[in-house]
Structure 1
């Protein structure tokens, strides 16, 4: 078959797919299905992707060559600034940037650190993202010992198993909002078993919550959480001696930490095509982070948002899953219980809020009959007040009387 015929057939197939897609959209409209409001800006009360400033988005309007010295400068700045956010020095730590979402960084770290090892990894988990760490280990061929987020259980597990090579955990478990005891776990691991590698998923905490990395060998993070960049770049912050331990272990070419670290150090470049526009946005986001007062300034705003949200939701009658007094730092994501009212249907509640211009977290929580609202990103107190007004309005539309009756929660 000639190239011309193959090319014509390929175009014919593509055109057929487009026609079917357009037909499906037309049928959806005839059936009064919800039409996507693409291009319509809404306030995102989600833990990433999240609201970013016009300044960060505008930074992506420039085109830049991946091998050009200007882009090498961007890479150098981002790598250094990330270490500054984490409060560690380039003498002891390295920033390895990974193309993709935060899960790419987790898979990169796990496969680089623990693949081709005969030992076991303890996975401490109390939510969706802890369980995902265990799944990544399984796919990488790493044997695991999943345990609950319990310090006594951790000590017992470490004492009873002599073949443990690593401990991994999530700092902020965003499927519930709980902040896990990273410092206490790190102290247990390193004080008694210094050769065991300790890895932390700090996706939603870097830039919003203080983390002492002294006992952490590798911490992963994301540009599009508290650092308020756009999706597309994730982060591995690794002790330099941990990078050396990762050599020749990964079963992936593109997710191997050590050669990417070497490339950054030796020639300042990504090994594989980077998302240049995302990197330009990330640099701008890091500049904004510093201008806001770094972690102190940013977490202050986030906490103010959270205080308004929790107080006004309590005034309406919604009950939180976590007690603020017991979880004073759980201001990244807040989980609320469903009202025990037959008229409250979460999908309807969610879509009505979206139509009003406010997007909260979709169903993705550890706990049944609950929903989550995040107050990080370029969100301010006036935005939270606007969300609360929309929630009141939606409840009225759904014929749910406010305030909700005390104890009438699922």
Structure 2
């Protein structure tokens, strides 16, 4: 109210969509505190849009409890969990269970959630379409780094929960690191209620040793995208997948992926004949020192390098060109990599060779050091539609010798533009016929 006695709209009079946007940025505890401001804010607390995504973190739905040996610990509060699921569980569209070394809290949440889903005759979470579960398979103690897999009560609780889920379309269960004896029945638990609804399945680091997952073919009828490690596929698995409606197979390596052999070239040739619509993606991520496992003559359309320890080398590009020359469409290096400024130690020649030999390559993302002249040549000589390079990784140099197929006028023009960032940008804009610029590191990380 103003000094004249007139009522002015305040925070309680904001539109409902603004309230929902504000609540979406808050944690559950902050939402509860905000709901105590007034009745309008309290009503917005129960808006369906606010609770579309539920994330279970280390301290979510927990309470403090004193332990004589460890001091004050946080344990899952069954009352808070039950009230949360009962009050707003019907609004959940996406559920993320993040990795936590508090295994008992995770197990208790899985058990309570399974009981909640099984108690009612009508399914209490009809909007839930995305389920993500990541197990904390890595821990540190006095003896150092420990890697262990899921098993025992935790695996039983997870299987019971997966049997209770219905209508999920996007299912992710990562880093289970199961032993071969524990693998039986896990995929069957997922498919018990969701065999026809799941269209994307991600099971990275599903086993701790090489184990072909042939059961995938019989469990999911409408699966379109499958993400798993290369140690869980072999010749038989890819041939069986070729007979399904699968459109994309993503093979991802990370720091927990065990050593494995690639699928044979003959099997991939049969896959290309049986399923010309099937595309394969190769990715290496995390802090791993392993090299990208090349699948010989596979229908690979995308390669992603997301590790700071893996640089673009002549050997890698030679293998990529030899095996995927006619299919590669996207090549992305998404993580910053340290490298030398010398021309012969950089990736300039390797990347330019890739662009020259892969006619279908339309998107190129490179984070390593390159010269401005190399960037101009990438735009001139390839069929690229999207070229992303870092501004702070570019070296203002014209260090390429003249090739026999370049005219003197072309060579001089490229060298002249390469000695200026502005002229480099203008020339590339002229080639593409649209606005183009170098990316700052923040923009590059957002790709």
Band of TM-score, shorter chain: under 0.3
More helix by share: 1
Larger CA Rg, structure 1 vs 2: 2
TM-score, length basis structure 1: 0.26
